């Protein structure tokens, strides 16, 4: 029976064989590696991944698709909302001697950003991530300072990952075709990231970009004035002009001042 894509799940199934091969080549799966695929759908990526890995864990929300996937002898199927999946626990159950898992997937575009932030909580047990996303989102993820795409997503992810846009995927590669261009991003956790209170860094960045067209003195500057032990910070700039390292250093200084 043909599966009808469900709009509420943001389902767009990859069908272009050349694109599928290119994605698998970019991921470069090897036998015995522990890998988790988010949103396997009709198994376009799942099948070649499983063939190279030997076994694969997949997370699928759609009950009908999950039932079909359970018939595959090489798959462990987790039927769940990915935002509720404990990836640390999943790694403890699936990972080999390294204790880490590789994560891949064609993420539902309507909840891609929440998924990325959810995985940030499990980054210590993740070796790398390869995701197909809306190209516009990936442009924001990898954006450099002083560009229009640079924002909260850029800062929060670049602090923790080295990222690159590895492949362009046109709409006609899917059934049904989405109304946007897609791309594949590679995300490799940094081996020695700066230690920082993630919630505090997130709040600093959120406030800074809340009025991105204005100088920071209108947003972050006023926020800093209300906090005790605020360090000196140049607020005569716009949020997009501040490099990731400076946001991290500010959060660190605020944290250290709070405990002084």
The CATH number of the domain where 232 resides is what?
A: 1.10.8.100
- Verify that 215 and 147 share a domain, yes or no: no
Q: How far is CA 25 from CA 8, 19, 30, 56, in A?
A: 30, 10, 11, 17
E strands, 80-217, are: 101-106, 126-134, 161-169, 174-175, 182-189
Q: Which of 146, 168, 189 is the last residue of a domain?
A: 189
Q: CATH code at 93?
A: 3.40.50.150
Backbone angles phi, psi at 155, to 5 degrees: -65, -50
Total domain count, the chain: 2
pLDDT at 228: 86
pLDDT at 11: 60
- Verify that 95 and 175 share a domain, yes or no: yes
- Verify that 66 and 169 share a domain, yes or no: yes
Structural domain harbouring 221: 198-259
* Domain-located, residue 2: no
- This prediction has a pTM of 0.90
- Verify that 147 and 206 share a domain, yes or no: no
- Verify that 48 and 99 share a domain, yes or no: yes
pLDDT at 108: 86
Look up residue 91 and give its DSSP letter. Answer: H
Q: What angle do CA 168, 54, 27 make, to 5 degrees?
A: 20
- Verify that 104 and 40 share a domain, yes or no: yes
Q: What are the pLDDT tens digits along the chain (260 aa)?
A: 444 444 444 467 899 999 999 999 999 999 999 999 999 989 999 999 999 999 999 999 999 999 999 999 999 999 999 999 999 999 998 877 778 999 999 998 889 999 999 999 999 999 999 999 999 999 999 999 999 999 999 999 999 999 999 999 999 999 889 899 999 999 999 999 999 999 999 999 999 999 999 999 999 999 999 998 899 999 999 999 999 999 999 999 999 986 44
- Verify that 223 and 156 share a domain, yes or no: no
SS3 content of the chain, % helix, strand, coil (to 5): 45, 20, 35
- Verify that 123 and 213 share a domain, yes or no: no
* Domain-located, residue 1: no
- Verify that 88 and 28 share a domain, yes or no: yes
Q: How far is CA 175 from CA 5, 19, 23, 108, 112, in A?
A: 8, 13, 17, 14, 19
- Verify that 52 and 158 share a domain, yes or no: yes
């Amino acid at each position: 029976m043909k599966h009808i894509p469900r709009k509420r799940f943001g389902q767009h199934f990859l069908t272009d064989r050349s694109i599928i091969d290119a994605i698998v080549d970019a991921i470069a799966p090897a036998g015995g590696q522990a890998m988790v695929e988010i949103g396997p759908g009709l198994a376009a990526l799942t099948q070649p991944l499983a063939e190279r890995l030997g076994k694969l864990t997949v997370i699928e929300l759609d009950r009908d698709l999950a039932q079909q996937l359970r018939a595959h002898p090489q798959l462990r199927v987790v039927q769940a909302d990915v935002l509720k999946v404990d990836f640390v626990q999943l790694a403890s159950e699936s990972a080999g001697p390294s204790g880490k898992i590789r994560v891949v997937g064609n993420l539902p575009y309507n909840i891609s950003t929440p998924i990325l932030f959810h995985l940030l909580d499990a980054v210590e047990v993740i070796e790398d991530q390869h995701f197909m996303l809306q190209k516009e989102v990936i442009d924001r993820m990898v954006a450099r300072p002083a560009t229009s795409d640079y924002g909260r997503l850029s800062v929060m992810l670049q602090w923790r990952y080295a990222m690159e846009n590895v492949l362009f995927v046109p709409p006609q590669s899917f059934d049904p075709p989405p109304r946007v261009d897609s791309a594949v991003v590679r995300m490799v956790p940094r081996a020695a990231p700066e230690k920082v209170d993630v919630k505090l860094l997130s709040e600093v960045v959120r406030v800074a970009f809340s009025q991105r067209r204005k100088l920071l003195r209108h947003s972050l500057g006023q926020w800093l004035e209300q906090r005790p032990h605020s360090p000196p910070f140049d607020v005569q700039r716009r949020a997009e002009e501040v490099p990731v390292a400076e946001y991290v250093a500010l959060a660190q200084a605020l944290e250290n001042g709070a405990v002084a």
